Each structure stands twice: as structure tokens, then as C-alpha cells.
Amino acid sequence: MTEQAVFDVAIIGAGTMGMAAGAFLAQQKVKTLLIDAFDPPHSHGSHHGDTRLIRHAYGEGRQYVTLVKRAQQLWEELEQQTGYKIFEKTGVIGLGPKDSPFLEETIASAQKHDLSLELLTGREINARWPGFSVPDHFTGCFEADSGVIYSENAIQAYKETALAHGAQLVPNTAVQHIDLSDEKGVKITTELTTFYAKKIIVTAGAWAAKLLPDLELPIQPTRKAVAWFEAPSELYDAANFPAFFVEDQHKKFYGFPILNGGGIKIGRSDGGQPIDPDLQTQNFGLYETDENDLREGLEHYLPQANGKLKQGKTCLYTLSSDNDFIVDVHPEDSRVLFACGFSGHGFKFGSVMGEVLSQLAITGESKLDISIFALSRFGLQPQSPNLENKYPKKV
């Protein structure tokens, strides 16, 4: 087994947050290592499937708006710097009953942060976009400046940026053991190589709880389905139709217009099956609900898009117990940073979280307020001061 020189920072899990952090660190001449059990961008985690929504008026909580505005700026900078298409300004409309708590918070966050948000009645929605068919009692919150992030392009752009600035990427490599007691630094053992780093950042998505068992991270990996359906382009092409989300009777749908000749894409942010991430495969259709639950959304709100299934995929959500992110420093070793619990609404923050994690690794502080993401909010304590753990194969 070979040994490598000591890195300044090693990132375990080079997906959405990890790859972005690696790019930010490398650009600041930090000697950076990125390790991933797969070869990002890939289809084993949470970043595949072509597209993600980016919303600024934020129903999950007005405390996110400052972060997402910075994320938007960084995505646009990444597009300019790399030439990859990252952002598509399709606009995003939120749909639901007038008393929807999610829409009420969306409106409140727009008011607090002076965001442009157009309120529409159900009839106005159907008249402006004939592809919708929503009840008269619905409200629409339309944000024209929001839209779509091309997720796999974004990962690839950050990957190329990191490598161009000297980061070392070790793909298709599972971390087998991490030792915090070695005098040379944090010792990271894989099947063929041992690496050392002054600090590590664990951004392993659905595998985070397995990697840091002493923290008892309150996250649950969940298998989710998403699919693309044939739909008339004159109604649903991105030039004529916005990205959208619906919250109605505790059911939460989200979707995308036709982009680059594909079909209407739709998913659900509720439901899904709890899963061990090591057992996740691309097996769309294993459950009848994979397709049926998505068609329910089409039938109710976009009936003219309820066409032939073009393709379906599965991915992993990793939800925290309160649906907010977890970003912190290990309470017993400041060399260990971790960020997890993003899935469901996290991808849009990938750019700003990369910047935040790079700041934490270099200076120990973030320029943006991330106190709401502290692990201490759960009142948990590490189970053992012994942080030398044997880690599972998938990292």
C-alpha cells in the first residue's frame, strides 16, 4: 500500500457540496484531495437527473434567502468562467390553496427580502399557461427571475475547475478507515492507498451517518422516483412554461418544462422509501407508486402532459429530522467538518455551500450566517470520544 504526502484538506464525498468545496479550495491554492466511491457526476447519489429548481422566495424558511441569493450569483459566475450551461431562467411558480403554509412562507420571505413575486389566482394561472389546470381556489406565486440549474453540468464544471487548479481527485475509491490519532495528520485508508490531511470535510450525502456514527446524525436516506413524460411542446416547452411546485393536501410535487427536447419532468418531494444507500440501484418501476404517484400530479394539475412515459430514474434524498441542513464542525475534533441532510431542497445551495465549507476549512469561520444548521440544535452528544472508526465501503 502506497502513502501520499499530507494534503491541507481532504474531501470525502465529491458530489454536490464536496466538488464545489474542492473547487473553491483549489482556487485558493489549498492542497486539496477529493475522494469518491464513484466518478462524479454519477447516478448513485442525489445530483443526477439533469435539472434542479432554484427558488429565491423560499417556502422552507425566510432564513434561507440570503444563502440562495449568494448561490444564484455563484452559479452564474461558474457559467461565465467555465462555459457550461448552468442556469436557465424559466421562472418558477408555486401552486396551492390560499391557506398553504408553504406558500404563505414563500410570500413572507419575498416581502422580507424585497424579492419580486407575482401573486395569481387559479383562473389567471390557467389563462396564462394553458398547460396548467388548477382549481379556482388555488394561489400562484410566480418568480420570474428563478429557474433551473443543470445539475450534472454544474458538478462537471466544478470538477474541471478543481482539477485545473491542482486538486487531486480519486474516483471509484471507497474509504475503508479514518484514523484521527496519527501524528502525520488525519489518516485516510483506501484499498490501495493511504492519504493524510490536516483537515477533512465529510460531504458524503446518504452515507454521512455511516461515516460519522458517533454523532448519531438525525438523517434518513430515502429512495425517490422522478420521471419524464411526453407532452405537447407548444404548451410545455421552456419558452412557454415555467418550472413549478405544488403543495396540496399534504402532497408535494415539483417539475420542469420541456428542456432540450426532453419531456415534462415531475417528481414528488414527499413520500419515498427509506433505504440503506448501499442498496440503492437504478430500478425505477420496482414499485407501482414510482410511476403512479407522479401521474397523479399530472392528472390533477397538468392533464395535457400526462403522456407516454419517456424515462424514469431513482435518486437518494437524505432528509434531516427537521428538514433543515446540518453543517458543522465535529464537537470533539475541529479538523473534521461535515455537511449533510441537504436532499429535498439542497442542490440549489451547492455553490454557496462549497464556498462556506472552504471558508470553514481555511479560517474556521463562514462569512455567511450558518448557525441555524448547527448539529447542537438536536441536543445530541457524541457517543464516544474515540473517533477512530472503521468506515463502510461506500463513501
At residue 301, what is the residue type? Y
- Give me the pLDDT at residue 191, please: 86
Whether CATH 3.50.50.60 fits 2-46+152-218+322-390 = yes
338 within 8 A of 203, measured Cβ to Cβ: yes
The SS3 call for residue 286 is coil
Strand partners, 326: 340
The SS3 call for residue 381 is coil
Those residues whose C-beta lies under 8 Å from the C-beta of residue 136, and which sit 6 or more positions away, are: 121, 122, 123
Separation of alpha carbons 143 and 116, rounded Å? 6
**Helix or strand holding residue 188 (H, E):** strand 186-190
> Which residue is listed with cell 473517533?
387
Question: pLDDT (tens digit, 9 = 90+) per residue, 121-177?
Answer: 999 999 999 999 999 999 999 999 999 999 999 999 999 999 999 999 999 998 878
Those residues whose C-beta lies under 8 Å from the C-beta of residue 62, and which sit 6 or more positions away, are: 105, 108, 109, 112, 113
- Give me the pLDDT at residue 395, please: 38
SS (H, E, C) 63-116: HHHHHHHHHHHHHHHHHHHHCCCCEECCCEEEEEECCCHHHHHHHHHHHHCCCC
- Give me the pLDDT at residue 291, please: 97
- Give me the pLDDT at residue 381, please: 65
Strand partners, 336: 200
- Give me the pLDDT at residue 387, please: 41
Separation of alpha carbons 249 and 96, rounded Å? 9
CATH topology of domain 88-149+220-320: D-Amino Acid Oxidase; Chain A, domain 2 (3.30.9)
Separation of alpha carbons 90 and 146, rounded Å? 7
253 within 8 A of 267, measured Cβ to Cβ: yes
Angle between helices 16-27 and 151-164 (to 10 degrees): 30
- Give me the pLDDT at residue 392, please: 34
Per-residue confidence in pLDDT tens, the chain, 395 aa: 566 679 999 999 999 999 999 999 999 999 999 999 999 999 888 999 999 999 999 999 999 999 999 999 999 999 999 999 999 999 999 999 999 999 999 999 999 999 999 999 999 999 999 999 999 999 999 999 999 999 999 999 999 999 999 999 999 998 878 888 888 999 988 888 999 999 999 999 999 998 888 899 999 999 999 999 999 999 999 999 999 999 998 899 999 999 998 999 999 999 999 999 989 899 999 999 999 999 999 999 999 999 999 999 999 999 999 999 999 999 999 999 999 999 889 999 999 999 999 999 999 999 999 999 999 999 876 554 344 433 333 33
305 within 8 A of 236, measured Cβ to Cβ: yes
* Domain residue extents for the chain: 2-46+152-218+322-390, 88-149+220-320
Q: Using a CB cutoff of 8 Å and minimum separation of 24, what contacts does 270-276 make? A: 271/224, 272/222, 272/223, 272/224, 272/225, 272/317, 273/222, 273/223, 274/220, 274/221, 274/222, 274/223, 275/221, 275/222, 275/223, 275/316, 276/221
